[in-house]
Structures are given as structure tokens and as C-alpha cells.
Structure 1
Amino acid sequence: MPTVGIKRDFLFKALGKTYTDEEFEELCFEFGLELDEVTSEKEIISREQGDSKAADASDVILYKIDVPANRYDLLCLEGLVRGLQVFKNKLEAPRYRRLSPDSGEPQRLIITKETAAVRPHAVAAVLRNITFTQERYDSFIELQEKLHQNICRKRSLVAIGTHDLDTICGPFTYTAKAPGDISFRPLNQTKEFTATQLMSLYKTDSHLRHYLPIIEDKPVYPVIYDSNGVVLSMPPIINGDHSRISLQTKNIFIECTATDLTKAKIVLDIIVTMFSEYCAKPFTVEQAEVVYPDGQIFTYPELTYRKEKLSGEFINRKVGISESAEQICQLLTRMCLLSHPLGEEIEVEIPPTRPDIIHACDIMEDAAIAYGFNNVPRTTPRTYTVANQFPLNKLTELLRHDMAAAGFTEALNFALCSQEDIAEKLGKKISDVKAVHISNPKTADFQVRPGNTAIRCA
């Protein structure tokens, strides 16, 4: 589960209420989250790097909150506060709208055919007249990083670029060129580098070196230009310094390049819905056009609302409660799923912030959370069984005790691990390591099994 670190006082200010640690922990539990740790920046640095490194660190209290991996809308303060306020009936879920520009044509991102060899898809949008504070800016940057590590799979599926629109000029071109033909000044650098030089420069960068293998073996690298030839970014590695955003930025051009278009749409929707709150017209997003090599034009962000129907009886039976359709609708509305009874059925509207809602079971789970798991009546099972240990397990336990008594130490490790653990961290190339590779790993921590042992994976 991803962990979100949020400053306690800033969180309470946004919620409009001060909680004790115990009260907030209970609120998180009711909402399906977990308050993992109450700490501070100084405490974290002291624990990881020693007291000497923590001398100048902040004493501000941080809440470390565990968030379900598929709840991308809760990976930042804005989404978390919005969700909790709706859950506590202090706020109605906002309605997100896509608008045309007030004047002129929408910003346009043109994709050339050369990108097919590396990252063929892109989406884009504009946040117009946004107001940043230091806390909002930090949250904006942190959300991008959380999404990169989560749904973007360390930028391999999607890479996010955010740019100060007032420093660049559309239409923009997304293309791919030979590394030696790409030259620009990247973020936090004082001079221009070619793409080849950048790949060498970032080999030792503790943050960016992990993303280099995504494109370093490709014959061409993706790059985005504005109409004046200014480089916006070289995804998925680094943005250009020319268009970097700051506290003074008022208009943000957001582009997401991807190998997976569906995930790119989700990422774009999450970013714009979370931070459109700070625009002059709250919860509105200026649309942008993306032109594919075959001439097709698509408008983003989609911000799609869809409707699902299910029966109240289904939810009652699965959760173990007995509520009317009207009461179930109230429960779902508290989870930002606006619902209405239609006779014996319930119509549920899924907002663009909830891509985790795929089928009826997901809706049922939200109803159970809103009802409160501790409030579900206890029932006696209709069948009784007497538990007993398997003979093999009993023998194994006895052997463990005897081995430990003889002075042996038992190590029980995961069968699977990450590619980084058996290659980069040991100074080797993954191609030189004998390992079974999982074609569709669920997380980056379980990508391979060392050795030649064959395994079956569902």
C-alpha cells in the first residue's frame, strides 16, 4: 500500500477541525485507511541517516497514512481532505467540468509517427489561472511522484510533464529523434546537454538513474517541442528547465506520454481533478487536443462520468446488512458515488476520480465502508467445523523447534523479488542474471525469481 506523508497542522486546517492522534486514527479506519505512523522530518532523517544529518530538519508533525493502491485520488492532501469531508457529510462531491478556452483555439499536441518506436501515446490538458502556495506546490509535485511510482510503474507506462504555459508557445510537437540530435537544458542544470550526454550524466543520479533503462537501448528518444523549437521534456527522464513551474506559475500545460493509453487518461484525470480546486473557476479544466499521426484528433481530459446499476438486495446480502435502497444510496454518496434509487435498483454515478470502481463488488465494498465494518451485525455460521492441524504442518513445526534448539537460524524469504535486487544492487546487468521473469508482476517488488527453477504464475 502506498504511504502518504502529510503535515498534521496543514491537514487539520484543511479539514476545519483539530483531532487527537487517536481520533484521527479512528476517522481513517472508518474511511478504510490506516494511520501508519505519527512522526516528523527530523525523526525520519535521524532514523535513516543519523542524528547529525537531522540537526537542521523540521520538527513539524507528519502523519503517515496507508492508502489502498488503487485509490489514486487519495495520494495527495487535496483528494484526502475532499474524500473525508464528503464522507463526514460536510461537503458535496464536486462536479468536474471540461471547458473550451475563453479565447482562441485549444492547445494542441501533435504526435509524429516516429514515437511509435518508443512511447506512442500522449494526452494533455491545461490548468488555467491556478494559484499556488508553497504547500499546494509541494503537494502538486509529490502527487506526480506518487503516481509515477504507483500506476505509472516507475514511468515505464506513463510519464508526466508539467510546464509553465506562459513560457512556451503551442502548438506542441511530440516526436522521437536520435539521441545525438536532441539538445536542451534540463531541470536544475546551467548548460545544454545532448540526450547522449544526459544519459551518462544521470547514470550516477540516485533518483533519475532508475528510469534510464526505459529508453537507453532505443534507437530514438521521445522529445516534446513547442512551436519555437524549445524542448519541454524528454520523457520519461527529465523536463526542460525553460518551462519549469514555480510558485508564480498561473497556467500549467500538462502532458502525459505513455505506452498504455488507458493509464495515461487515468493519470491526467487524477492530476487535473485534484488541483483544479485552486483554479479561478474551481473544478474546471481547459481542454487540449492531441493529433495522432493518422490525423485523428482526440480531446482531453475526458473527465468521464459513467453510471452503473445494481440491486440493493445484492449489497445487503454481500455485506450482511438490511438497509433500504434510499439508505444505501446515502452510504454510497458519502463515498463520492452519487446514487439514486430506481425502484428495486440503485443507479450509481462513477466520477472520473474513481477509476478503481470496475464492477458491482467495488460499489458494494464502498457501501460496507460507509456503513462501518464494526456496525455489521454478527451472525452465527450455518455450518460448524472443528479446526485441526494438518499432520504435515504439525511435523514441520516440531522440526523447526528441534532445528532452532540445535543452533540453526531459519530464514524465510519471498520466492519472488525485484530485478533491482538481483542485478543493479549487485552491480550486474539483469540480462546476465539467471532468473525466471514474471510477465505481468503485480508490484515492482515481485518481478523475478532467481535461479533456473520453473514456476507457474496465474
Structure 2
Amino acid sequence: MPVITFEYDDLYKILGKEIPKDELIDLLPMISSDIEDYDDNEIKVEFFPNRPDHLSVEGVARTLKGFLGMKKGLPEYEIEPSGINVEVDPDLGDIRPYIAFGIVEGVDLTGNKLKQVMEFQEDLHWVIGRDRKKVAIGIHNLDVIKPPFFYEAADPDKDSFVPLECIQEMTLNEILHEHKKGKDYAHLLEKFDKYPLIVDSNGDVLSMPPIINGELTKLTENTRNILVDVTGTDEKAVNYALNIIMTSFAEVGGKLKSMNVIYKDRQVQTPDLTPKKKEVSVSNASKKIGIDLTAEDVVDFLGKVRIGAEIKSEDIVKAVIPAYRIDILHEVDIIENIAIGYCFKKIGSELPEIATIAEEDKGETFDNVLREILIGMGFIETMSLMLTSEKVHYKNMMLAEDERVTVAQPISTDRTMLRKNLLQGLMEFLEDNKHEELPQKIFEVGTVVFLDETCETCTQDYKKLAGAITHSTANFTEIKSTVAALFVNLGLEMNIENYNHPSFIKGRCAKVKGSINWKSEKIDVTGYFGEVHPEVITNFNLEYPVIAFEIMFKNSELF
């Protein structure tokens, strides 16, 4: 999770008052954070990824003002139309179609502020932007460029500019393959024939999103007026990111101006700071939090977390949600904020009035049988997280991307989706332990998650077993014998078919299937085994052959 570091003096300057350090240390965890470290001058705080508005000291100060009773309710920001247009090239529709712009005048980037802005930008890149794939942010010196602006699809070999921290012009292709940032993020653009470019009316380049800004618009401590651009593949995320940045600058006196983004079929004005409105039931909030509440209480507690509120009736309160709050989607999110405003420390605890008689779950019993078999064959069990990333799950395993369950607000760039297979987790484990002696034989029993094809908002969970072996002479015969022994111990007859799987060497992979009766329940078994493809082995920085199997067990009653 993101950790921000700020000096006490920076916070006190925004608050307009000092808070005793002990009081601040006690208060910050009450607004959904963990204290990582602190000394006499600064503090390191880890904030949950559902609150990217807290990734700047300005955002933290804004919330603390409510908690301390200094400013309660909905923050209001004045925003003036600039009249400046940004034209969007329709050819970007399949590349990076959405963009939002805003202007902030009168910024102060002296002292620690410039460094804080850069860190804030990078934190947003992976909390909201999924490491720039979904959203990328550019912040520019407005005074060295001339409007209007153009967001265009550029020729990678003909168009060029001087990228940040360079002195020579480079073509877009050269940037992608020679510049450090280009190589880091080349996978986001290299499949396209044209690359996004933001230019001004003189043809000067502001940015090549999502890769790098131009040296021309580099920020310095002397910069006073800035232009913020946010591009991406998700229009809602693009607008949220812009709102968070713009309101953060406004908290320290920045004057906000909007711009007109002109698409082929429509025109929008950004940023749009119109608050959302949702209703919350007072009785439902009382039940879920475990305290007696009135409508007046709800208004008061929401005000402490900087959410506006209007009483509609004794049981209904309308919450007015700031445009920078991306975490409030349902009534329960508002109830959580009521609890935060009330203060978690004040909520008591009690034992549930439930009596149960425990027995081992049938599915767990089956899992334990699988474990006993594999351990008896000399394997060591591993346990990996259900969360993985598209890079590990698809690219490293040479699989084509398909529908999957993604994390709306991932805590890190390597935990962005729910796994559909177990094998990539075993490969990561081998990579982390390649310094250990060979042979290595590992397995995992775990759950995988697929989208339900019959229901857009539903998922299906399945039980899987996967194993991997690595040593200098690992081969197809060994993994076939291993899977055959597993099937025999399960009382299964192994039916084998030829199978081509992208993660395995062609001609050295097979499919297996069968079924088993377990405690009067029928379990369908399907899977595959073989020699892992050399490119997959290389993707995980391994040096020896790897053989592996992965088997799925289906039974809606057991798993």
C-alpha cells in the first residue's frame, strides 16, 4: 500500500495550527491509515488504496480539519472556465481514447512541494492507473506553452521531441526502445501503429502519454502556473484522477480553471467537480455500526469526514459526496464513513449470540487427502495469494488475455486480478527460491476464480491442484509418472489426450480427465501436464527445465 512521508511543519502550515505529535499519531489511524514510522521532524503514513485523495499532505490535512472540527462538511472549490480547447484525434479511439485537462494558477513548488507533487503523481499512477495502463498523469509548466492543445495519434518514426531529463530529440520509437521510461512502459504502446502525443498550437510536445513528458514543460521551484493532463482507457478513472490532483492544489490556494475537451461526437468540460448524492438509512446505519443514531448525528459524523449531508426524513439522510472521493459506491460505504466520523475507538465490542457444533468441511477433507498424496510423493506445499497481475498471469505464462475478475483499487501493481490458474504462482515461488538446492518439487491446493458467462456480475470458484518440479534432467516421462501416481491414489483411471498449451512445449503436453466419487459426491477432474516452455522458464528467470501439472476439480456442493 502507498506510503507518504511529510514533515509536521508542512501539515501544520495547511491546518493553520499545530497538533501535539502524540495526538496526531493517535488520530491518523482513525482516518484509515497505519503509521509506518516517525521522528521529531517527519512521519511516514500508509494509507489504504481506496483513499487516493489521502496520498498528499493536502488531502490528509483536508480530512483532519473535519475531525478537528475546524472545517466540517463538503469542501467547496471555485473553478473558472479558461475557454481553452483541447482537440482529441479520433484515431486514438483504440489506443488511449480519453483525456482530461485542468489548469492551476498560483502554485507554490518551493521547498518540499515539488518532490511531494512527483511522489503524489507516481502513487496515483499505480493506485488508480494500474501502473499507467488505465490512467497516466502529466503535470506541465503552463507558461512555456501556447494553447489550444491537441491530443493526437502520431507517427512513431516521424514525430520526435526531447523527452524529460534528455538533451537530444528522439523519435517516439527511439523513446520506446532506448529511453529508460520507454522501455519500462513499452508494453502499453508497442502493439499500436501510432502513439499518443499532446502538442500545443506551435507544435511543441508536452507529453507522450503514458510514457514520458517533454523536457520543455519540466516543473521547477519557480513554476507558478501548471497544466494537468490525465489520459487513459477508462473515462471515469481519468476524471477521478484529475479531480484528486486539482482539489489537492486548491487546498493550498491554487486557482482552478477548467478546459474544453473536444471529441469527434461531443464536448466535455474538465475538471467536473459536481458532487454525487446518495441516500443512507439512519436505522440501517445504526444496526450495522451497533450504536443508536439520529438523523442529526448522521449529518454531524459525515461532516467530520468532509461529506455534506441533508436530512430528508427521520430515517433518510442525503449524503453529498465530494468529486475526489472515488471509494463511495454504495450505502454501506456511507455507513462506514459515519462510523469513521463517530470514531472507531468509541465503538464497543461484544460476543455474538450464536452457538454452533463444528465439523470438518467435506471440501477441506478432500484437500487434505490431496496434500497427503503429494507430500507422500516428496512434494512441498506452497500457499500463494489469490491476487496476481496480468503480467505474471498472462504475459509470463505466454497466455492470451481473456475475461477475468480485476481489482478495482489494487494495493500494488502486482496484485491487480484474481487468479484463474495456480501454475504461475508456483513459477514465482521457484523464481524466489532458485538459489536453493535442486531438485525442487512443490505443489499448491487452492481456489481460482472465473467470471460467470451467464451473469455479468457473478463469479464462479473452482478448486485446483498444481505441481511443479525443476532439476537438470526433468522431462515429460517424470511428470507423466507423477500425475499417474496421483490418479491411482485417488482411485481414478487416467485418460490422456494430446494437448497444445501455450505455457508448455508443443508435443510435450497432455490433457487428462476423469471423475471420482467422494463421500457420495461426484467430482469431475480435468487438467494437463507436460514440460514448461523455455520462454516461460526464462520469463521467470529460471535456469533449469521445469515440468508441471495443473488439475481442476468441479463439484458445486463440495467446493
Q: Same fold (TM over 0.5)?
A: yes
**For residues 18-417 of structure 1, what are the structure 2 equivalents within 5 Å?**
18-20=19-21, 23-35=23-35, 37-38=36-37, 62-92=42-72, 94-101=75-82, 106-202=83-179, 205=180, 208-279=182-253, 284-294=255-265, 296-344=266-314, 345-379=316-350, 381-387=352-358, 410-414=381-385, 417=388
1:389/1:350 CA distance change after superposition, 3 Å: same
Q: Specify the structure having the higher radius of gyration (Cα).
A: 2
Residue 3, structure 1, aligned to residue 7, structure 2: no
**For residues 409-448 of structure 1, what are the structure 2 equivalents within 5 Å?**
410-414=381-385, 417-421=388-392, 430=395, 433=398, 439-442=404-407, 443=410, 444-447=414-417
1:335/1:39 CA distance change after superposition, 3 Å: closer
Partner of 1:216, secondary structure, is: coil
CA contact (8 A) 2:5 2:44 kept: yes
Partner of 2:143, secondary structure, is: helix
How far apart are 1:187 and its partner, in Å? Answer: 0.5
How far apart are 1:343 and its partner, in Å? Answer: 2.8
1:387/1:189 CA distance change after superposition, 3 Å: same
CA distance in 1, matches of 2:87, 2:308: 37
Of 437-446 and 369-378, the range deviating more from structure 2:
437-446
How far apart are 1:333 and its partner, in Å? Answer: 0.4
TM-score, structure 2 normalization: 0.68
1:398/1:18 CA distance change after superposition, 3 Å: farther
Residue of structure 2 in register with 1:49 after alignment: none
How far apart are 1:369 and its partner, in Å? Answer: 1.5
CA contact (8 A) 1:182 1:194 kept: yes
CA contact (8 A) 1:115 1:222 kept: yes
Partner of 1:368, secondary structure, is: helix
CA distance in 1, matches of 2:400, 2:324: 38
How far apart are 1:114 and its partner, in Å? Answer: 1.8
1:328/1:212 CA distance change after superposition, 3 Å: same
CA contact (8 A) 1:25 1:34 kept: no
Of 391-400 and 431-440, the range deviating more from structure 2:
391-400
> Quick one: which amino acid aligns to residue 350 of structure 1?
I
User: C-alpha offsets along residues 357-413 of structure 1, whole Å, 9 cap, x if unaligned?
Assistant: 112111100011122233224455343235565588699889999x99x99865322
What do you get for the CA RMSD once the two structures are aligned?
3.2
CA distance in 2, matches of 1:62, 1:377: 33
CA contact (8 A) 2:405 2:449 kept: no
Query: In the alignment, which of 443, 450, 453 is matched to residue 456 of structure 1?
Result: 450
How far apart are 1:237 and its partner, in Å? Answer: 0.4
CA contact (8 A) 1:436 1:454 kept: no
CA distance in 1, matches of 2:108, 2:29: 33
CA distance in 2, matches of 1:450, 1:435: 16
Partner of 2:259, secondary structure, is: strand
Partner of 1:293, secondary structure, is: coil
CA contact (8 A) 1:140 1:275 kept: no
Of 435-444 and 319-328, the range deviating more from structure 2:
435-444
How far apart are 1:431 and its partner, in Å? Answer: 7.0
Residue of structure 1 in register with 2:471 after alignment: none
CA contact (8 A) 1:163 1:245 kept: yes
CA contact (8 A) 1:73 1:353 kept: yes
1:147/1:392 CA distance change after superposition, 3 Å: closer
1:320/1:432 CA distance change after superposition, 3 Å: closer
Residue of structure 2 in register with 1:43 after alignment: none
Of 167-176 and 436-445, the range deviating more from structure 2:
436-445
CA distance in 2, matches of 1:436, 1:121: 22
1:288/1:395 CA distance change after superposition, 3 Å: closer
1:415/1:85 CA distance change after superposition, 3 Å: closer
1:259/1:324 CA distance change after superposition, 3 Å: same
> Quick one: which amino acid aligns to residue 46 of structure 2?
D
CA contact (8 A) 1:434 1:451 kept: no
The percentage of counterpart residues that share the same residue type is 29
1:412/1:333 CA distance change after superposition, 3 Å: same
Residue of structure 2 in register with 1:17 after alignment: 18
Residue of structure 2 in register with 1:426 after alignment: none
CA distance in 2, matches of 1:158, 1:224: 15
CA distance in 1, matches of 2:366, 2:96: 54
Partner of 2:157, secondary structure, is: helix
CA distance in 1, matches of 2:230, 2:369: 56
CA contact (8 A) 1:422 1:450 kept: no
Of 406-415 and 135-144, the range deviating more from structure 2:
406-415
CA distance in 1, matches of 2:24, 2:182: 36
Extract unaligned runs of 5+ from structure 2: 425-446, 452-458, 460-559
